Amino acid sequence: MSRRGSSIVTIAFLCGGLAAITAPPVTQAAPPKDDLGVITIPKGAPITIGGMWVISGADTALGTDSKRGAEIAFKNAGNKILGHPIKFTVEDDQCNSEGGLAAATKLASIPNIVGVLGSACSSVCTPAAPIFWKQGIVELGTACSAPSLTAADRKPAYDGFVRTIFSDIDQGAADAKYLYTVIKAKKIVTVHDGSPYAQQLTVVTSNNFTKMGGSVLSQEAVAPTDVDMHPLLTRVATEKPDALYFPVFVAAAAQILRQAKDTPGLEKTALLGGGSLMAPDFIKAAGQAVLGFRIAYPDVSPEALGKTYPKFLEEYKKAYGEGPISGFHAHAYDAAELLMKAIHKVAKEEGGTTYIGRRALRDAVFATKFDGVSGPISCDAHGECGEFKPAVYEYTSADVSTFLIGKNPKKIWP
């Protein structure tokens, strides 16, 4: 080989070697820093979102309706977020603390779960929220309305909880107003079932009713599984209240309603239930006693909700072959949309891998504002994100097949 040829080879080798040394390596970007941890979702892997609602037992409609709302939101997003398929994992929380603890523990153990939607029951959200936040998981309540969940003095364990439903601070004030100014009650008796929802709501209502000049004769309690309500109702009858207010769940409420009809001394006592009784199963459980029965409830008429609600309602009917079976489907849709919007805000992508900081996601959920299906969504510093408009509905038929929000029961106030 000539010296010239040797030089060419040497130059080629050196150039090749230099290129190999100086070419930038193809590496994955470091994930963002987050003091609560970072969710890493490889290319093609699903984004896991949890859900927990009551989907068995007497209050099934309450949970199933909410679950459907979230499903429609995901469907409208193409069942994908940032190119990743959505894996929606739902647990039955049974609308009680034991079921809530079990459901929350199971969901919190799922690797890389991004957030959780639900519950419909304050008895679940109360013990579940701290379990999730201990793992840095944000929870978006869809119908759990106990005031303590978003109170200004709530404990740090609830820092990861928000809700698209109102607080019963508002519901209780509206219920007291209806009792005092519309029913014209001056003396009432309240009944709760020990749940955070019913217990806190009766306290708020009682306090507001007293401020208006009314008198709360007694504040009674039953167990959700109680069947014989006659001893309670007989005692209540001796107090001669103008109204009996019992915002409890389906099974106990149906027993109270049916047995109040044949309790001497309660013939002229007005009966008012609460938000958990907007369900066809309540008609079935109460039978003929449901006729004329009124429930205090948020206004879920189309004109009171968001501008996109009518379109959503048609999607609901098309997807499930029936109209809504309870009243919180729009709030669940908005919770799902709120979570998806927050994910889009904070997610970082590199080479197909998506990174989501847990605290960053929580902060984005709190900061996100939009016009939702249920109305404006804007979270305050304590996780209250929805608006409240009061209403009272009255059952017009004992035929379960006639259940239709707005007709049976129909809105009678305001």
- Whether 38-165+328-383 and 169-302+391-413 share one fold: the answer is yes
Rg of the chain (C-alpha set): 27
- The arrangement of secondary structure in 38-165+328-383, i.e. its CATH architecture, is 3-Layer(aba) Sandwich (3.40)
Please name which of 269, 72, 250 lies closest in space to residue 188, comparing C-alpha atoms: 269
296 and 31 Cβ atoms separated by less than 8 Å: no
Looking at residue 158, the DSSP 8-state letter turns out to be G
Distance CA 91, CA 99 (A): 9
Residue 352 is predicted with a pLDDT of 87
What is the chain's pLDDT, residue by residue, as a tens digit (414 residues)?
343 444 433 333 333 443 333 333 333 456 789 999 999 999 999 999 999 999 999 999 999 999 999 999 999 999 999 999 999 999 999 999 999 999 999 999 999 999 999 999 999 999 999 999 999 999 999 999 999 999 999 999 999 999 999 999 999 999 999 999 999 999 999 999 999 999 999 999 999 999 999 999 999 999 999 999 999 999 999 999 999 999 999 999 999 999 999 999 999 999 999 999 999 999 999 999 999 999 999 999 999 999 999 999 999 999 999 999 999 999 999 999 999 999 999 999 998 899 999 999 999 999 999 999 999 999 999 999 999 999 999 999 999 999 999 999 999 999
The torsion region of residue 117 among left (phi > 0), alpha (psi -120 to 50) and beta comes to beta
Question: C-alpha 351: how far from its chain's center?
Answer: 35
Of 192, 165, 340, 187, nearest in space to 253 by CA: 192
Domain boundaries, the chain: 38-165+328-383, 169-302+391-413
The residue type found at 117 is L
CA dihedral 120, 122, 127, 133 (to 10 degrees): 60
| CATH architecture, domain defined by 169-302+391-413 | 3-Layer(aba) Sandwich (3.40)
59 neighbors 281 (Cβ within 8 angstroms): yes
Residue with tokens 């590496």, as numbered in its chain: 27
Sign of CA dihedral 246, 252, 258, 263: negative
* Tokens read off for 362: 């929580």
